[in-house]
Amino acid sequence: MEKKVNLHTRAVHAGDRKQPAKDVPAPVPVTTPIYTAASYFYDDIENLDRVFDNLIPGQSYARYGNPTTGALEELVADLEGGAGSLACASGMAAIHIAISTALLDRRKSIVAGNLLYGATLAMLMKVFEPAGVDVTFVDFCDEAAVRKAIEEKKPGAIVMETICNPLLRVPALDRIGEMAREAGAALIVDNTFATPLILRPMEYGATFVVHSLTKYLAGHGDIIGGIVVANEPDLAALRAFQRTVGFVLSPFDSYLAMRGIKTFPLRMERQCASAQKIAAWLNRHPNVERVYFPEDPNHPDAAAIQRLFPNGLYGGLVAFEIKGADRQRVFQVMNALRLVVPATSLADVHSLLLYPAMASHRDIAPKHRARLGIHDNLVRLSAGIEAPEDIIADLDQALLSWCPAL
């Protein structure tokens, strides 16, 4: 499909309706079927041999590729503007394989953002560092600090998020992309929170773009999956690595993810609009101490947001601190919710409220969380596609269920 076609249209059509071989009449399914075969054979074994050698297109073994998963990979690569992509068993598997592939032929050194998803931080500290990789954490919203770390460490890979979890900081992706190119480092960007509707990191020099498919792309809270988008020649190295480690996504999950993506732009637009309304309301609530949302003109990264984000699209997440609350009081508010779901995830069609100290950043030491600004009264709301006034009403009654002394 031509790149000039609108993203909304590509989300519906890309990857589907594969045409049969030339001059062979055959029906074409309207949606991509679920292929469950573990292995494939051909009338001539020589053809299977050619498929293994990548001399002709085709299927051989499901760890190497699957038609359903291949259609999903084509779709996401089209949305992100990459040459191809690789679907994985989880978002964390996607991050692991992207970093591992990047370091295959590069210096075993990483410069990473200090505000990342808790499991990503844990992976860097508990998997890559013990394996001998030098990992340096830096505030990616401080361009001078990032440049200094890159000059000193000469990393093989740079790891960042487009919108940082959970404080919704926005690093200057365009400037960091330039730094990565100058240093010859692979830039690995987790674009889960922004999605290709808001940002396409490959336009700014990303080597690998990573998504948790579980979140906005699939969007219905019914799969666990991840995906890595790349360009050649990194795509070939990525697929070769996958053949060895086998972090494959099942065809059932691939089908569900692809089905979800067809409505992702519509859902994301609704969630962004609702998050704006909710953030504005929270800013006026007497039991809310502070609100974190990229639209805020006083946001510390306002200049980068103005350059990088489309007008009116700031993401579907709002973080806020409950005034005077400790862990017990936060639990009380969450237990009082009737519509918003107090669960560990984000980007579902229903709204979700997460407590980072308990969930996403549970494995980070309390003192480390505090240094990062993740306080014990911080919660993160993922706006669903419900009517925003209903989300607000539920948050209001939950926040009023406990009133701190004024």
Q: What is the CATH number of the domain that holds 311?
A: 3.90.1150.10
Active-site residues, by number, are 63, 117, 190, 215
Q: What pLDDT, on a 0 to 100 scale, did the predictor assign at position 363? A: 67
Last residue of a domain, one of 261, 285, 305: 261
Q: What pLDDT, on a 0 to 100 scale, did the predictor assign at position 233? A: 86
- Based on the domain organization, do 252 and 208 belong to the same domain? yes
Among 360, 343, 344, 352, which Cα is nearest to 119's?
A: 360
Residues 6+ away with beta carbon under 8 Å from 151: 183
Q: What pLDDT, on a 0 to 100 scale, did the predictor assign at position 16? A: 73
Residue 243 is inside which H or E element, if any? helix 234-245
Q: What pLDDT, on a 0 to 100 scale, did the predictor assign at position 10? A: 86
The answer to whether residue 1 sits within a structural domain is no
The answer to whether residue 117 sits within a structural domain is yes
The enclosing domain of 91 has a CATH number of: 3.40.640.10
The answer to whether residue 234 sits within a structural domain is yes
Q: Provide the domain limits for residue 329.
A: 264-399
* Residues in the chain where the model's pLDDT stays below 50: 405-406
Query: What Å distances lie between residue 70 and 10, 47, 84, 177, CA to CA?
Result: 16, 20, 9, 28
Locate 15 and state its tokens: 């990857």
Q: What pLDDT, on a 0 to 100 scale, did the predictor assign at position 358? A: 73
